[in-house]
Structure 1
Amino acid sequence: MARALVLRAGGVLALLAVWWAVAAAHIWSEVFVPPPGAVWHQLIQTSTTHDGVRGYSGHLLYEHLGVSLRRILLGSLYGVAGGIVLGLVVGLVPTVRALLGPLVTFVRTLPPLAYFSLLIIWFGIDEAPKVTLLFVAALPPVAVATADAVRGVHEDYVFAARSLGARRWQIPLNIVLPSALPEVITGVRVAVGVAYTTVVAAETVNGVPGIGGMIRDAQRYNQTDVVVLGLLAIGASGLLIDGLLQLAERRLVPWRGKS
């Protein structure tokens, strides 16, 4: 454990050293490669109030990040719940699999910006299209992972449950889903990652406050240091959330990799 932490810290320090060296060499202008010091300065500026200016666009950095995390959380929760239900049905019912399988694959291959404009037409420019976009982005990975995992559950488990008196409606929830849980959790991690990569697209319209909206706004004015800061904030929070999901995986499926 300690060795892994040291290696991770060493990797981060190495990346910082390369970043600093490239910026110090002035190979490119600061508009293209801002130095670490400039990004640190923006971290202080966007996290405090200076000369009557509060953070960035009137909101502090943690407020931008908090709004985006709320959108990601809602979209991911809806997507995970819908994906598990859809994956169970697709995996267990061949007719549904034939009908909905191609549709799930079709949605999974669409880039978020391709249908975000349609969501704006349908739901306006407030929260609804943003959360819906993240929901649509997060649902297919969970649905595909759940359906494949359900189809891979050994039939002996089902036969044993039936022989012990399990009712038909109990088998999917009490037998199939727990057996498929390791793959489902992997799908959840992928879905949350997809939601994170989609948040900037979700906040292209009326996205402030929001970390993606902050990035888009800074991009318009060539504030590369703010853009890099926003990316680092998303990445750091994403690592934290993924770490929590891995912890949940170890608690929920402790047998994974041991049997």
Structure 2
Amino acid sequence: MTAPTTTTAASGPDRPPQPVPEPAGTGAVADSPRRDRLREAFRWGGLRLVALAVLLAAWQAVVSAEVWPRVLVPSPGDVWRQFVLASTVHDGVRGYGGHLLIEHLGVSLGRIGTGSAYAVLAGVPLGLLIGTVRPLAVVLEPAVTFLRTLPPLAYLSLLVIWFGIDEAPKIWLLVIAALPPIAAATAAAVRTVPGQLVEAARALGSGPTALLLSVRLPCALPEILTGVRIAVGVAYTSVVAAETINGVPGIGGMIRDAQRYNQTALVIAGILAIGLSGIVLDALLRLVERIAVPWRGRV
């Protein structure tokens, strides 16, 4: 008995080679990590929703039990109604103070963006100087620490005396609040650049400027971006203080004005708007960080 032979398709100039079929299950294996990530995202998202539901139920239970007067602790429904009223035109009234909630929030975000941008433009060079030039560090680092420890309300009155009650004191307050974290993070990052890289660049003929721009700054960029994220958060927490003076339109000014008339539900609605927009803003900054420094956490 002879063993069966396997015939293969002949290949030649008139017949191109047949493609090798992909092994069964390869596509499923490739899709498995993606499915795992989606499953994990849904699991953690579900956990967040459950936690939110528990928090709302506890809040409503406290209100129903009348632990505190309703004017002090409004119900979730009261807060939602104020949120809707501040976000729509009702009975001829446009939102709150003639501006919708999204407009108040947009004005505040514009102030935060402007103040943070000026802080980055000043804080990164300042941090580079502090981290690389020892005499300047001795002089400037205590000043940065001094500013970092000051609460915004401590110098708001002085800024109002200097710049009036328009936009200038608000922007200056946010700049002063956001600049120290950026400068401190930049200085610390520059100081931790590996000495081997610096010596190698010097051996290749890099001067001080090229060394700073091509070695120190790229190595320090991940920590600088972390400092920027922290600074934006500090600016966001300072916006209510910045808008206590002529802050309408502005989410901080709206909260301050509602507080004067004991509109607790509107105050809570404004606080929730700040927190939710802060989460979105931080997610955008994280995205920028992943794009700008994709090697972070991998080397």
Confirm or deny a common fold (TM above 0.5).
yes
Q: Deviations over 1:87-128 (max 9, x none)?
A: 000000000000011000001000000000000111110001
Secondary structure of the 1:169 match is helix
What is the one-letter code of the residue matched to 2:257? D
What is the alpha-carbon root mean square deviation over aligned residues?
1.2
Q: CA deviation at 1:212?
A: 0.1
Residue from 73, 77, 84 that aligns with 2:113: 73
Q: Deviations over 1:53-90 (max 9, x none)?
A: 11101111111001000000001111122111110000
2:64 is aligned with 1:24:
yes
2:47 is aligned with 1:10:
no
Q: CA deviation at 1:171?
A: 1.5
Higher alpha-carbon Rg: 2
Q: CA deviation at 1:254?
A: 2.1
Residues paired across the two proteins, number: 259
> Structure 1: which 5+ residue stretches go unaligned?
none
Q: CA deviation at 1:157?
A: 1.0
Q: Deviations over 1:140-179 (max 9, x none)?
A: 0011011011111111111111222323212112211111
Residue from 170, 177, 196 that aligns with 1:156: 196
> Structure 2: which 5+ residue stretches go unaligned?
1-40
Provide the residue aligned with 2:26 in structure 1.
none
Secondary structure of the 1:59 match is coil
Residue from 147, 150, 159 that aligns with 2:187: 147
Give the distance between the partners of 2:107 and 2:213, measured in 1 at CA.
34
Provide the residue aligned with 1:47 in structure 2.
87
Q: Compute the TM-score of the two structures, normalised by the length of structure 1.
A: 0.97
Q: CA deviation at 1:8?
A: 2.6
Give the distance between the partners of 2:54 and 2:118, measured in 1 at CA.
38
Give the distance between the partners of 1:18 and 1:189, measured in 2 at CA.
32
Flag the structure with more relative contact order, 1 or 2, with Cα contacts below 8 A and sequence separation at least 6: 1
Moved more, 40-49 or 92-101: 40-49
What is the one-letter code of the residue matched to 2:207? R
Q: CA deviation at 1:17?
A: 2.2
Give the distance between the partners of 2:217 and 2:176, measured in 1 at CA.
22
Secondary structure of the 2:208 match is coil
Provide the residue aligned with 1:255 in structure 2.
295
Spell out structure 1 runs of 4+ moving beyond 3 A: none
Provide the residue aligned with 1:176 in structure 2.
216
